[in-house]
Structure 1
Amino acid sequence: MSDPGVTAASEPSTKRFISGVVEGFYGRPWTMEQRTELFKREQKWGLNTYLYAPKDDYKHRMYWRDLYSNREADQLIALISKAKEHEVEFIYAISPGLDITFSNPKEVATLKRKLDQVKEFGCKSFSLLFDDIETEMCPADKQAFSSFAHAQVAITNEVYKHLGEPETFLFCPTDYCAAFCTPSVSQSSYLHTVGDSLLPGVDVLWTGPKVVSHVISVESIEEVSSVLKRPPVIWDNIHANDYDPQRIFLGPYKDRPSDLIPKLKGVLTNPNCEFHPNFVAIHTMAAWCKAMAEEGQRDVEMSDEEQDHCYSPQKALTQALTDWLQEFLNTDQPTGTCRPPTRLKKESSDEEPMQTDVGESSYVPGPGENPLYTAEPLTLVDLNLLSELFYLPYEHGPTARTMLQELDWLKNHREAAAAETDTTAEWRSRAQHFDEMCEAVVQMFNRLSNAPNRRILYDLYDYICDIKSGVGLARAYVKTLGGRGPPSAQLMNNDPEPWGFRGGLSGEFQRMLPCHGNRDLFRHPPMSTVYSIRPYCPEDKMEVQRIFREMQRDGEGKVPTTAQPLISDGLSAGELPPSAHCALVLEDEMGVCGFALGLTDASQAAAKIQKAVCDSVLGDFPSLLTIRLLPRVADLAPAKGMVGGLLSSIRGCGSKGAFCELRHSDRKMLDFYTKLGSFKIIQMAALPEDIVIMGTCL
């Protein structure tokens, strides 16, 4: 087999706009029953396509060569038939890229045989996926093809022609988003090969600027369309959650202007792994797909943040949640599914309740006894809150943002809760408001837990339990600050219960890495400057010394000429070398603007420079760190990242504690270490009056 040598036509034949769902996530595939339910919803909402590509169907990906058994064949035949019944185009995708040898005719024949089998099931549309695979070709393929792209295009063209050039045939490139293209989309030799050589009847899947794209702009689609010589089909991961088991996304389809629609061949959403919570994702995307067709037939009221005259994410979300509420209240359950064991409002039913205590009257509580627990029905307000708590990958919903802002303010102004100040009344008012928002989350959890449709609840249960626990911890913390009760046993302490903190091994790994948390969706204060933290190298010595001299001469932290030297002065001035892997540099667009240096064992330096640091202190805090920031660094978040990275390295060397030296005149850094919470002042009798020593256990 050799390079295809096929030139794509500039104008492919006109086909319908592809719109629907791709089951393409990693994790447990959906059941046949769930897929059938999906087809019904797609037909109802005006979508027309389903792409079968579950990564963990082993005959789709890992064991793509194996034919389907008779039982599996019957299931696929029934599924394809159900899709056709509901006017949904069933596209069968296969992912042979993990281990296929492109130049081996037997491998190509095996691939054709597998797709021929699926074609016999009644499937007329197909897709070849080469995503998430290694790009290095085996020696045999290197001899046969000039590039990886040529190998993929050659086999795709051959299979496409073998299947009779089906009307719908999709190709997923290995470089399926702009972030993967080298050096850029317009200069990608891989994409240019695909555009030049892939047959014109084959459409190309594309996820946008990133794997999970925040915004997909018209300009970005025009750029990739020019290279591919065809409009792409968007494989949209905006609601995908297979990369993080703690997140689920219930916000609307957004940040894709409806002006995109004429520029695309189609859009397929690859949503949450859990089937039932995808109601909002698919419902709102269906509304987006109809936006251009319904332009002029409706008057869309937009919020201040919305600028799309054809589609309003907020209106689409409200309509989706209104329809979803009816699903929650639906008691038509599969056999074996139980209704909640609580007393719901009386409703008419033909069912006769199971009687176990015939002749006994219902229990009625007496005077002074607790009333019977009666679950209140789920409301649209509850679902709106749920959506805002689990919104989208790049943003929290409005209520979630408000809760984070309020907690941040209450924490930073906690002194107002302990003593009468000008802000005490405001603190108490905002604390009460925060408590009411927390209570709304608890009540939402209770009503969700008692909703009749248990199938939806069970898909959501882990997530709503987790958010209820997190909100409960924050609520208890604020109450403790306000003096409305003793410190809660739930709050973090030196020996927390396992249920009192989020984490696991993954959390431990993340906390040991530099800059952990710099991608949090909630930041305070917001960063307007882009900072980067990198390891210190010998070439940085001059810049570090310059910053040290500037800090000694000007502003806060100015050092009198008669002041006693510090160990950290020796580090900053280059007189003492930092320990291995214990030096970081902070840069902004103007250059180096800060640094953090450390000594894993400061005992020798203390004996020479700062004798006031006694052996008892060094026994508990053997390591030292120092951090310096130029005045232009107003945001202290990067400083926290450097301290976290430095402490991780020091702890990795076996140290059990670290200390820092500060002067009373350096108010900025004194306030910084105090607000970190983990550093405490160490009292030492022989310490000069202008010096403060603070330490933290590791």
Structure 2
Amino acid sequence: MSVMATSTNVSEKTQGRAKRFIGGVVEGFYGRPWTMEQRTELFKREQKWDLNTYLYAPKDDYKHRMYWRDLYSSEEAVQLIALITAARQHNIDFIYAISPGLDITFSNPKEVAALKRKLDQVRDFGCCSFSLLFDDIEADMCPADKQAFSSFAHAQVAITNEVYQHLREPETFLFCPTDYCAAFCTPNVSQSSYLRTVGDELLPGIDVLWTGPKVVSHKISVESIEEVSSILKRAPVIWDNIHANDYDPQRIFMGPYKDRPTELIPKLRGVLTNPNCEFYPNFVAIHTLATWCKASPDGATRDVEMGDEEQDPCYSPHKALMLALTDWLEEFMSTDQPTACLKKESSEEEPMQTDLGEHSYVPGPGENPLYTAEPLTLDDLKLLSDLFYLPYEYGSTAKTMLHELNWLKSHSQAAAVDTDQTAEWRSRARQFDDMCEAVVRMFNRLSNAPNRRILYDLYNYICDIKSGVHLAQAYVKSLGGLGKPSAQLMGADPEPWGFRGGLSGEFQRMLPGHGNRDLFKHPPKTAVYCIRPYCAEDKMDLQRIFTNMQQERRIMTDAPLISDLLSTGEIPPSPQCALVLEDDMGPCGYMLALMDAKAAAASVQDTRDRAFEDFPSLITGQVLPRVTDPSPAKRMIAQLLSTIKSCGSKGVFCELRHSDRRMLDFYTKSNSFQPIKMDGLPPDVIAMGTGL
């Protein structure tokens, strides 16, 4: 497909001739570069999908960036020549990029000569297209350059123009500015003196790379491209990092190319995707970009037909994704045994058979059946894409799982005491469990797919998400009292897979960030609680909390308990045995204790009960429903038990009504409190105690 690039200045060399739209892939990430075999496979894919360009710019290729002055050895030359030749055979424009900006002295003629010599060598390899990159470098000039050039932009443009003319003005020559996105421009795009210098002084035959509003742009609008084009005086080539993952080794992106309207196509010189570091999972990123490139508003042939529901009448990200996943499924199911193929081609003889006289193994009666791997499905790949979608967006299934987990967590306490909510909670818990099981099945099917090369690139990611989903699944089961796995995962001494992310995860959990706000418009903040000693002014607040909880649970107080009298203030707590819990809204809970409960019990129950000998002290408390985290209550109890023990008490008991399901569940799950027999209690009350 050819699209005329809009530009206010066009060199005499290109006047009257339309340049083809640049569409393809830039290998421009940090990390292990792709292999020569993978790059050749990329050329085949690009040709098949009607893309036309490959930009060679791997950041960690020594002679591309760090040792840019060094010429290629004879062995390296053979590889590059083969790569350039392979690109030409598949009608792919091979653009060689070099990044001298780390340490070049722009004003030194020897440095400029070294740059020309390096590019001359690559040109002798058969390369016809080039790029100079000045991204991700410090913007300060050395003293010699400050004397020779009026600005950093002036220095870059001067050397770029000189190299471009030295190479006899190749038809494709790309320049990457240091300010390559709107976020880097000071004070903004339209007032950037750096971009204005580039637009005014860079020769018109040189194209400029641009990543959009940010380094990794969520959306790229027509208006933003028109703004930068007017400053640069040419249509930019988008270096698109939407699928790049070199900034986070725990993420990979397999969602479709999206949030770039097809109205952009006539306003751009081209688009190059800088995708994931892992080669094989880039199938979706490159495939959907190719579909987008064919969706020009000029009426070109498209891969998919759009429906009326699409926001972009020329391109549907969902349909492009399904088209890519359908093709990718075929590749997953292809046998990947290059060694065996080489052996077969090397000889016409049949391979040696050592078991010609034996039949395939058949299990006998009562023996284990043979393992049969379930085949990978299109739904599995759709789920995979949903779980690893895009930097600013989760796929539909991932969004649903996060939403359901949040709902189940926040409504678990209410469901425990409200029968109407219990049924809904359990139904949604089962649905969440089904979604978790689907992830596990997807993992198993991927693990058994014939094409092992794709699996090995994906394995760390799918193993990590399966483990994370398993933790969430176990947590939900524990909330519903349906399983024990969470005791292993979330206990005091868990296995290492019970806490994800290592040191990096620890740092992240301690910081106040809350993600990219896709799931929650206003993300839930981590609640901050204050535990402080009780004072006389707190009496009314504690009465209010106690009364509210009694009314909410429809608890009748015809037969008051010791703990009721303690909560209402009729019996004062023992010194240093009363704590108040506060959040942003004020007091939200309390824990009170009596060192000698026997004396206080005289008016309400039989004090001759032998239980008072083993458990002489009493503890009681309540926490409002808005406190969903059990940790503050646990800390208050631990602090009171320590105080009571230090005062010489043998044990502590608490009184719990059956209708107070929340506190009953809290103490039941405690490792220390156990049911005890205590005479004189009402039928709806049980006592639980712990020794000290």
Scaled by the length of structure 2, the TM-score of the pair is 0.74
Q: 2:129 aligns with which of 122, 125, 129?
A: 125
The Cα shift of 1:509 comes to 2.4
Larger radius of gyration: 2
The Cα shift of 1:11 comes to 3.7
Q: Indicate conservation of the 8 Å contact 1:24/1:52, yes or no.
A: yes
CA separation in 1, counterparts of 2:526 and 2:336?
Answer: 55
- In the alignment, structure 1 residue 317 sits paired with structure 2 residue 321: yes
CA separation in 1, counterparts of 2:115 and 2:147?
Answer: 21
CA separation in 1, counterparts of 2:381 and 2:37?
Answer: 25
The Cα shift of 1:165 comes to 0.7
Moved more, 455-464 or 421-430: 421-430
Amino acid at match of 2:457: D
Residues 482 and 129 (structure 1), Cα distance of their counterparts in 2 relative to 1, 3 Å cut: same
The equivalent of 1:412 in structure 2 is: 410
The equivalent of 2:166 in structure 1 is: 162
The Cα shift of 1:500 comes to 1.9
The equivalent of 1:448 in structure 2 is: 446
Q: 1:628 aligns with which of 568, 575, 584?
A: 584
Q: 1:379 aligns with which of 367, 377, 380?
A: 377
Residues 216 and 354 (structure 1), Cα distance of their counterparts in 2 relative to 1, 3 Å cut: farther
CA separation in 1, counterparts of 2:180 and 2:308?
Answer: 33
The 5 A counterparts of 1:30-41 are 30-41=34-45
| Runs (5+) with no aligned partner, structure 2 | 1-6, 343-347, 528-533, 542-571, 587-620, 645-692
Moved more, 329-338 or 498-507: 329-338
Q: Indicate conservation of the 8 Å contact 1:674/1:680, yes or no.
A: no
The equivalent of 2:306 in structure 1 is: 301
The 5 A counterparts of 1:90-101 are 90-101=94-105
- In the alignment, structure 1 residue 264 sits paired with structure 2 residue 220: no
Q: Could you give the per-residue CA deviations for residues 523-563 of structure 1, whole angstroms, max 9, x where no partner exists?
A: 3xx3199x999xxxxxxxxxxxxxxxxxxxxxxxxx99955
The Cα shift of 1:564 comes to 7.4
Q: Indicate conservation of the 8 Å contact 1:418/1:481, yes or no.
A: no
The 5 A counterparts of 1:175-214 are 175-214=179-218
Q: Indicate conservation of the 8 Å contact 2:297/2:314, yes or no.
A: no
Q: Indicate conservation of the 8 Å contact 1:253/1:288, yes or no.
A: yes
Q: Could you give the per-residue CA deviations for residues 548-606 of structure 1, whole angstroms, max 9, x where no partner exists?
A: xxxxxxxxxxx99955799xxxxxxxxxxxxxxxxxxxxxxxxxxxxxxxxxxxxxxxx
Amino acid at match of 1:187: Q
Moved more, 677-686 or 130-139: 677-686
Amino acid at match of 1:516: G
- In the alignment, structure 1 residue 682 sits paired with structure 2 residue 633: no
Residues 132 and 303 (structure 1), Cα distance of their counterparts in 2 relative to 1, 3 Å cut: farther
CA separation in 2, counterparts of 1:501 and 1:44?
Answer: 44
The equivalent of 1:492 in structure 2 is: 490
CA separation in 2, counterparts of 1:475 and 1:506?
Answer: 23
Q: Report SS of the residue matched to 1:414.
A: helix
Q: Report SS of the residue matched to 2:390.
A: coil
Residues 487 and 415 (structure 1), Cα distance of their counterparts in 2 relative to 1, 3 Å cut: farther
CA separation in 2, counterparts of 1:220 and 1:414?
Answer: 46
- In the alignment, structure 1 residue 52 sits paired with structure 2 residue 56: yes
- In the alignment, structure 1 residue 274 sits paired with structure 2 residue 271: no
Q: Indicate conservation of the 8 Å contact 2:101/2:133, yes or no.
A: yes
Residues 509 and 364 (structure 1), Cα distance of their counterparts in 2 relative to 1, 3 Å cut: same
Q: Indicate conservation of the 8 Å contact 2:294/2:300, yes or no.
A: no
The equivalent of 1:107 in structure 2 is: 111
Q: Report SS of the residue matched to 1:488.
A: helix
Q: Report SS of the residue matched to 1:114.
A: helix
- In the alignment, structure 1 residue 80 sits paired with structure 2 residue 34: no
Q: Could you give the per-residue CA deviations for residues 192-234 of structure 1, whole angstroms, max 9, x where no partner exists?
A: 1100110101000000000000000000000000110100000
The equivalent of 1:465 in structure 2 is: 463
Q: Report SS of the residue matched to 1:235.
A: strand
The equivalent of 1:10 in structure 2 is: 9
CA separation in 1, counterparts of 2:354 and 2:514?
Answer: 55
CA separation in 1, counterparts of 2:538 and 2:292?
Answer: 67
Q: 2:516 aligns with which of 510, 515, 519?
A: 519
The Cα shift of 1:676 comes to 6.8
Amino acid at match of 2:522: M
Q: Indicate conservation of the 8 Å contact 2:294/2:301, yes or no.
A: no
Q: Could you give the per-residue CA deviations for residues 428-470 of structure 1, whole angstroms, max 9, x where no partner exists?
A: 2211111111111111111111111111111111111111111
Residues 466 and 563 (structure 1), Cα distance of their counterparts in 2 relative to 1, 3 Å cut: closer
CA separation in 1, counterparts of 2:73 and 2:327?
Answer: 39
Q: Could you give the per-residue CA deviations for residues 632-672 of structure 1, whole angstroms, max 9, x where no partner exists?
A: xxxxxxxxxxxxxxxxxxxxxxxxxxxxxxxx99x8xx555
Residues 157 and 90 (structure 1), Cα distance of their counterparts in 2 relative to 1, 3 Å cut: same
CA separation in 2, counterparts of 1:293 and 1:399?
Answer: 31
The Cα shift of 1:617 comes to 10
CA separation in 1, counterparts of 2:574 and 2:212?
Answer: 57
Moved more, 488-497 or 235-244: 488-497
The equivalent of 1:148 in structure 2 is: 152
Q: Could you give the per-residue CA deviations for residues 412-433 of structure 1, whole angstroms, max 9, x where no partner exists?
A: 1223664561022222221111
Moved more, 128-137 or 479-488: 479-488
Paired residues in the alignment total 557
Q: Report SS of the residue matched to 2:26.
A: strand
CA separation in 1, counterparts of 2:316 and 2:352?
Answer: 48
Residues 450 and 674 (structure 1), Cα distance of their counterparts in 2 relative to 1, 3 Å cut: closer
Q: Indicate conservation of the 8 Å contact 1:673/1:679, yes or no.
A: no
CA separation in 2, counterparts of 1:427 and 1:353?
Answer: 60
Residues 562 and 399 (structure 1), Cα distance of their counterparts in 2 relative to 1, 3 Å cut: closer
Scaled by the length of structure 1, the TM-score of the pair is 0.74
CA separation in 1, counterparts of 2:628 and 2:103?
Answer: 55
Q: Report SS of the residue matched to 2:174.
A: strand
- In the alignment, structure 1 residue 29 sits paired with structure 2 residue 33: yes
- In the alignment, structure 1 residue 502 sits paired with structure 2 residue 500: yes
Q: 1:136 aligns with which of 133, 137, 140?
A: 140
| Runs (5+) with no aligned partner, structure 1 | 1-7, 339-349, 534-558, 567-610, 619-623, 631-663, 688-698
Q: Could you give the per-residue CA deviations for residues 348-393 of structure 1, whole angstroms, max 9, x where no partner exists?
A: xx99897555644443334444322100111111111111111100
CA separation in 1, counterparts of 2:502 and 2:577?
Answer: 34
The Cα shift of 1:29 comes to 0.4
Q: Indicate conservation of the 8 Å contact 2:28/2:274, yes or no.
A: yes
Q: Indicate conservation of the 8 Å contact 1:417/1:481, yes or no.
A: no
The equivalent of 1:335 in structure 2 is: 339
Moved more, 148-157 or 327-336: 327-336
CA separation in 2, counterparts of 1:203 and 1:532?
Answer: 47
CA separation in 1, counterparts of 2:289 and 2:513?
Answer: 33
Q: Percent identity?
A: 73
CA separation in 1, counterparts of 2:632 and 2:25?
Answer: 48
RMSD, aligned α-carbons: 3.4
Q: Report SS of the residue matched to 2:104.
A: coil
The equivalent of 1:425 in structure 2 is: 423
Residues 452 and 563 (structure 1), Cα distance of their counterparts in 2 relative to 1, 3 Å cut: closer
CA separation in 1, counterparts of 2:523 and 2:369?
Answer: 54
